[in-house]
Amino acid sequence: MNKATDQSGLHGSCLCGQVTYQINPPYHKLVHCHCQRCRKATGTGHATNMIAEPTQLQWLSGEDKIQRYDLPTAKSFGKWFCGQCGSPLPRPTRDGQRMIIPAGSLDEEPPIDPSDRIFWGSRAAWSCFDNELVTHEEYPDSW
């Protein structure tokens, strides 16, 4: 694996390239979330997200292209995406305490590996049969 080691930060973008960003170190966590909401938002068996502080994110271009959807029935679930191509983009949690960075939007491989699987009990029966990582039924206490 070729892991990014540049201390200036990791770069990310949407599929069409109109929205670009940089996430600066330190990199706290990279987790797989298996909740139904993340599965619906990504169209996959789980979402892989980097967790960061809001001050670590810098929009480089296209911030005006970002669309936001907050799930009305959820206390904190939302999604930011490019209004042109629909790619998921970094978003703050509703309480503003953390940034959720969709790992698939990174242009470089992060210098950390996934450490946890959250909402493991909610995973789809057809997805992720092994649990080689620490699993949590919901959010870990350390959040």
> Which pairs count as long-range contacts for 138-142, CB under 8 Å and 24+ apart, including other chains?
140/116
**pTM across the whole model:** 0.82
Question: 8: burial class by Cβ within 10 Å (0-12, 13-18, 19+)?
Answer: exposed
User: What domains appear along the chain, each with residue ranges and CATH number?
Assistant: 10-136 (2.170.150.70)
Per-residue tens of pLDDT for the chain, all 143 residues: 334 444 589 999 999 999 999 999 998 899 999 888 889 888 888 999 999 999 999 999 999 999 999 887 877 788 999 999 999 999 998 888 999 999 999 999 999 999 888 888 888 888 776 667 666 667 776 66
C-alpha dihedral, 1 to 18 to 103 to 96, nearest 10° = 140
Question: Contact 22/4 with Cβ under 8 angstroms?
Answer: no
